[in-house]
A and B are shown apart, each in its own frame.
Chain A
Amino acid sequence: SQTIHQWPATLVQPVGSPLSLECTVEGTSNPNLYWYRQAAGRGLQLLFYSVGIGQISSEVPQNLSASRPQDRQFILSSKKLLLSDSGFYLCAWQTGDQSEQYFGPGTRLTVT
């Protein structure tokens, strides 16, 4: 069966520091991968999605970037965090023959 992992689970970082969040999927090949951000008590905002290794589409201009160095690995990064980057970051996967998405446990990021 497929599983999706995210780490770390929680993170507190100072403004201006770098960020790296990792997401890995097991049990499936060539998934579509997604990064979402959820502000407290709000909906989900799509940040990036990827249909294959090295292929990244950005949905919202921001100081974040994403990379997909391996088929089942998706990384969210920032060189310098802003206070507004605080939120709950969710990674999701989807296979090509279905449209529903399956989410990882998420990373709660607080920028101080």
Chain B
Amino acid sequence: GQQVMQIPQYQHVQEGEDFTTYCNSSTTLSNIQWYKQRPGGHPVFLIQLVKSGEVKKQKRLTFQFGEAKKNSSLHITATQTTDVGTYFCAGSLDTGTASKLTFGTGTRLQVTL
């Protein structure tokens, strides 16, 4: 079955440092989504990428979808303590109405002052 891996599993940075998490799928994806889960909370949708090679930005966050639509990355510039949480990518094979997502293993980000 489809597998989605993320690296690293955990990263600890000092506030102001950059952070990147990488997501790799065993199969070509229709689209990829990113979610953030704060400690003790539920996943919150951040963004969706659909096109090959697509790059999207949200303030300090930059999301990229690979040319082969099998990998993606999330880069945070100048991390802040509010960035703490676990970041999940989620890949979809479906273009129909029932979009099943396969979630990645997640990268937990810890930011200290």
Residues of A participating in the B interface, judged by any CB pair closer than 8 Å: 32, 36, 41-46, 49, 51, 57, 59, 90, 94, 96, 99-106
Contact = CB atoms under 8 A, between A and B. Distances in A.
Nearest to B1: A59
Given A49-B98, A96-B97, A104 B33 contact: no
Nearest to B103: A44
Range, interface on chain B: 20 to 34
Given A44-B88, A90-B42, A104-B42, A99 B94 contact: yes
Contact of A99 (B33, B102, B103, B108): B33
Interface stretch (B43-51, B54-62, B68-76): B43-51
Which 7 pairs from chain A and chain B are nearest by CB?
A99-B99, A96-B97, A44-B103, A103-B42, A100-B45, A51-B98, A43-B103
Chain B CB count within 10 A is highest, among A46, A49, A99, A101, for A99
Given A36-B103, A99-B94, A106-B42, 6 more contacts: A45-B103, A90-B42, A96-B97, A99-B101, A100-B33, A104-B42
Contacts of A103: 42-44
Contacts of A105: 41-42
A51 B96 CA distance: 11
A105 to B, nearest CB: 6
Interface in B67-113: 88, 92, 94, 97-106, 108
A97 B108 CA distance: 31
A90 B103 CA distance: 13
A104 to B, nearest CB: 7
A33 B101 CA distance: 12
A100 B100 CA distance: 10
B98 A32 contact: yes
A43 B42 contact: no
B12 to A, nearest CB: 15
Given A43-B88, A43-B104, A99-B33, A32 B45 contact: no
Contacts of A101: 33, 45, 99, 101
Contacts of B97: 32, 51, 96
